[in-house]
Amino acid sequence: MFVNFRRVSKCQLLTTGLLLCTLMVCWEELDHHVVSHIRSFTYRYLVDRYDFDTLPQPGAIISYPSYLINHPRKCGGGRDRERGLADILLLLFVKSSPENREQRQAIRNTWGNESFARSELGASVTVLFALGVHHDAHERASVQAALLQEDWEHQDLIQQDFLDTFHNLTRKLILQFQWAHEHCHWACFLMSADDDVFVHMPNLVRYLRQLQGTPSKAPKDVWVGHVYRGSPPVRRKGNKYYVPPDLYPWVSYPDYTAGAGYVVSGDVAAKIYRAILVLNSSLHIDDVFMGMCAKAMGVAPRGNVYFSGQAKALRHSCVYGHMITSHGHAAADMRSLWRATTDPGVKRQSGGLYCSMMRLLLLCRPYFQNTYPCAAAFA
């Protein structure tokens, strides 16, 4: 009896210990997504069997909408390029909508400021806004007039002739890769970001240079962001992300990066563009479609904990030294975060033991919080 009891309690101890360990290790898996995570990981191995090339594609080469606003020479090109003056580190497309003028202005004044990137970071970054036409027929003319005025002032809008709606997001994705192919295929990196995303430009540039290694070498096979692995398509009608089986018949999506913000190297951008030319682009969820293109071309995404999906960065100087993107910022928020993160005092503070401890305390909580995962504290 006594021996038995001892065995049981040892066993219990061991189990409790193991459970605790699992809890610690899988911290961020234990958030409210737990069910969908388990399900999608079960499906995930199936993805490799999908062959997106075999989708019906009678009209293979899609016809592109025409440009309403364009700046073909924004990336240098022509003479500049011949003389080697057009070495673009990053072409950054912000997915915007005609009416979001305030967001665009906040981005221009903060992280999207090309002169800041040039003078403070020594990097040539081109920031452009990708747009369709206003969805409301009654307001379209006045919104378009305002857009033309805005573009006259800033020369940074790229607009194609399609309705700017949620269900047309894949057209906006195609716009970006098409434009990059036509007018900026020499850029080292291409990034796509939403207009409510904050990009920590100094950290991003530093990270891209790390990826690049030698400055003169073209980076290869880079696709980095917040990775969703084997998520299942939403089959509940009425949900914003509902996808009927005839649009996407398989049980899980290929791995893809959250459309909120991701980066690809020039060679990957070219591959995606080649896939866009032949794949059926009727799936309106743009980041998933991008994942299908990448899958068809044999490109796999790489995760970076400081690229957010839905996550918002914590307002703390110890996080500012590492953050790359943060999601869900209105214009005023964007400006105040930019002021906070570019404050010269922050840089001095963000290294060291104190900040390592602070990040652990801030990011590793036993409940879901909409910010960077616990793993980011160790990155």
If 0-12 CB within 10 Å is exposed, 13-18 middle and 19+ buried, where does residue 4 land? Answer: exposed
Residue 240 touching ligand NAG (CB under 6 A): no
Please, which contacts does 20-23 make with residues 24 or more away whose CB atoms are closer than 8 Å? Answer: 23/366
| DSSP designation for 139 | T
Residue 109 touching ligand NAG (CB under 6 A): yes
Residue 342 touching ligand NAG (CB under 6 A): no
If 0-12 CB within 10 Å is exposed, 13-18 middle and 19+ buried, where does residue 269 land? Answer: buried
CB of 79 to ligand NAG, least distance (A): 26
Q: How far is CA 88 from CA 81, 124, 148, 168, in A?
A: 10, 5, 26, 29
In whole angstroms, give the CA distance from residue 100 to residue 142: 14
CB of 133 to ligand NAG, least distance (A): 7
Residue 56 touching ligand NAG (CB under 6 A): yes
Q: How far is CA 130 from CA 8, 92, 246, 259, 308, in A?
A: 64, 10, 29, 14, 21
Using CB under 6 A, which of 35, 137, 213, 246 touches ligand NAG? 246
* Best CA proximity match to 174, nearest among 71, 67, 281: 281
The answer to whether the CB of 316 falls within 8 A of the CB of 362 is: yes
CB of 217 to ligand NAG, least distance (A): 29
37 versus 329: smaller Cβ distance to ligand NAG = 329
Residue 53 touching ligand NAG (CB under 6 A): no
- Mapped onto helix, strand or coil, the DSSP state of residue 340 is helix
Using CB under 6 A, which of 280, 317, 342, 349 touches ligand NAG? 280
Nearest residue to ligand NAG, by Cβ distance, number only: 167
Using CB under 6 A, which of 163, 346, 364, 375 touches ligand NAG? 163
Using CB under 6 A, which of 115, 210, 214, 216 touches ligand NAG? 115
Number of residues that bind ligand NAG (CB under 6 A): 20
Using CB under 6 A, which of 167, 217, 237, 240 touches ligand NAG? 167
CB of 202 to ligand NAG, least distance (A): 12
The answer to whether the CB of 278 falls within 8 A of the CB of 53 is: yes
CB of 157 to ligand NAG, least distance (A): 16
Among the residue ranges 116-124, 143-151, 231-239, 252-260, the one whose residues contact ligand NAG (CB under 6 A): 116-124
Q: List binders of ligand NAG among 282-301 (CB under 6 A).
A: 282
CB of 129 to ligand NAG, least distance (A): 14
Residue 178 touching ligand NAG (CB under 6 A): no
In whole angstroms, give the CA distance from residue 102 to residue 107: 9
In whole angstroms, give the CA distance from residue 254 to residue 204: 26
Pull the structure tokens for residue 173.
Answer: 């994705």
CB of 263 to ligand NAG, least distance (A): 22
22 versus 282: smaller Cβ distance to ligand NAG = 282
In whole angstroms, give the CA distance from residue 88 to residue 126: 7
Interface contacts to ligand NAG, rule CB under 6 A: 56-59, 108-109, 113, 115-116, 119-120, 162-163, 165, 167-168, 246-247, 280, 282
